[in-house]
């Protein structure tokens, strides 16, 4: 059954908005409608995304709820704190559109966590757009909630990498998430397009730079929330992201203690059970063959997360790794994957599993 839909993209001039459009241009059922922006309104899309040739001459309109209304789907690729106001205006206008928020406004269930890390009033939680997330309470995956969703909060890119790396161990009880450590190498597109000195090529090229150190990163409560959903009674996470001089990609290395009395040989079996091995039960998560380590080059341009797990027996810790494209599976791909589920389409529609190289 064909289910064609019209989609408006707010924040189309940014990296996330551009990647959403790239994927939708290859979606057989998507019809791209209004494209909006803030300061870039009035300019051509091609000035910001010259690679999107079919849309290059389209003009960016102001991000006004009246412009977005009337579409079947609205994707909000806006700065944190902006989408809550736009989504509220759409609801007040009686819009029946499926709304997907690529920002953080609706990810956190805890208002206290939101206010602590973002410093503004909480806009409320929406169904969470990570279909592979294990829901220990119900025994199913998050995709089941997304099948009936009319609002979707797309996860943070770092959050997706850490969650997919570690959740099999949490759900099966082979790791103790009360002492988890995550160190991530993150491409510069994850910082957005804003003009800041530390994002200039002269500063970034050839340099690794940590940021949001010592528990201050806004993705920390979201990761902890996910691991609790996956079955953790207690989560304590040390999270350190490092900007790496690449345009896109995340490589997350996550370690946690091996649970007492669990044999190291049982660890890979846990990941295999959850993700289904190299050919996959999960269409976009690949557990790599033993001894093969994830790289960002494996997944660039795709909606795939490449995962590996090993045991450091000397340290008594499980080491889980995940590589993904922060703009693909980390943002826009997750939005389209969730969109497909909410519209009753095959989950994989329009989403690439093959990356680009070199």
* Nearest Cα residue to 320 out of 302, 294, 281, 299: 294
| Average pLDDT of the segment spanning 43-48 | 95
Say yes or no to pLDDT of 277 above 70.
no
267-276: per-residue pLDDT in tens? 999 999 999 8
**Token pair of 340, please?**
């497909």
Give the position of tokens 């609002």: 151
Q: What angle do CA 200, 61, 56 make, to 5 degrees?
A: 65
Contacting residues for 100 by C-beta, under 8 A, at least 6 apart: 73, 74, 75, 76, 129, 151, 152, 154, 335, 338, 339
112-165: per-residue pLDDT in tens? 888 888 878 888 899 999 999 999 989 899 999 999 999 999 999 999 999 999
What does pLDDT average to over the chain?
90
Q: How many CA atoms lie within 13 A of 215 on its CB side?
A: 7
| Average pLDDT of the segment spanning 189-216 | 72
Share of the chain above pLDDT 70, in %: 95
For helices 265-275 and 157-172, the axis angle rounded to 10 degrees is: 120
153-198: per-residue pLDDT in tens? 999 999 999 999 999 999 999 999 999 999 999 987 766 666 666 6
Active site residue 102: no
Give just the sign of the alpha carbon dihedral 322, 323, 326, 328: negative
| Average pLDDT of the segment spanning 270-290 | 85
Q: What angle do CA 344, 71, 303 make, to 5 degrees?
A: 50
Residue 313: is it exposed, middle or buried by C-beta count within 10 angstroms (0-12/13-18/19+)?
exposed
Q: What is the pLDDT of residue 280?
A: 52
Which residues face 98 on adjacent strands?
73
* Nearest Cα residue to 158 out of 230, 254, 229, 245: 254
Query: E strand or H helix at 50, and its extent?
Result: none
Catalytic-role residue among 10, 30, 32, 157: 157
């Amino acid at each position: 059954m064909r289910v064609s839909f019209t989609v408006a993209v707010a924040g189309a001039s940014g990296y996330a908005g551009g990647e959403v459009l790239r994927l939708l241009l290859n979606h057989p059922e998507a019809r791209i409608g209004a494209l909006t922006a803030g300061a870039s309104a009035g300019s051509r899309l091609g000035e910001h995304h010259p690679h999107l040739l079919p849309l290059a001459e389209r003009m960016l309109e102001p991000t006004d709820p009246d412009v977005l209304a009337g579409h079947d789907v609205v994707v909000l690729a806006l700065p944190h704190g902006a989408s809550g106001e736009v989504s509220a205006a759409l609801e007040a206008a009686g819009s029946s559109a499926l709304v997907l928020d690529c920002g953080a406004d609706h990810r956190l269930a805890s208002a206290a966590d939101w206010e602590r890390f973002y410093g503004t009033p909480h806009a409320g939680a929406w169904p969470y757009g990570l279909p592979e997330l294990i829901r220990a309470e119900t025994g199913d995956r998050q995709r089941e909630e997304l099948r009936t969703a009319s609002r979707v909060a797309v996860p943070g890119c770092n959050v997706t990498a850490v969650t997919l790396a570690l959740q099999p161990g949490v759900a099966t009880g082979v790791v103790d998430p009360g002492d988890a450590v995550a160190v991530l190498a993150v491409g510069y597109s994850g910082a957005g397009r804003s003009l800041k000195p530390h994002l200039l090529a002269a500063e970034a090229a050839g340099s690794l730079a940590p940021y949001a150190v010592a528990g201050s990163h806004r993705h920390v409560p979201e990761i902890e929330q996910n691991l609790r959903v996956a079955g953790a009674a207690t989560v304590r996470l040390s999270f350190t992201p490092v900007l790496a001089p690449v345009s896109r990609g995340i490589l997350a290395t996550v370690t946690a203690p091996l649970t007492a009395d669990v044999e190291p040989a049982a660890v890979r079996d846990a990941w295999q059970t959850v993700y289904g091995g190299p050919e996959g039960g999960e269409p976009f998560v690949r557990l790599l063959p033993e001894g093969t380590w994830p790289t960002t080059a494996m997944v660039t341009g795709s909606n795939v997360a490449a995962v590996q797990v090993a045991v450091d027996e000397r340290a008594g810790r499980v080491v889980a790794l995940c590589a993904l494209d922060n703009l693909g599976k980390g943002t826009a791909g997750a939005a389209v994957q969730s969109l497909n589920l909410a519209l009753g389409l095959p989950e994989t529609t329009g989403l690439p599993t093959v990356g680009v190289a070199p």
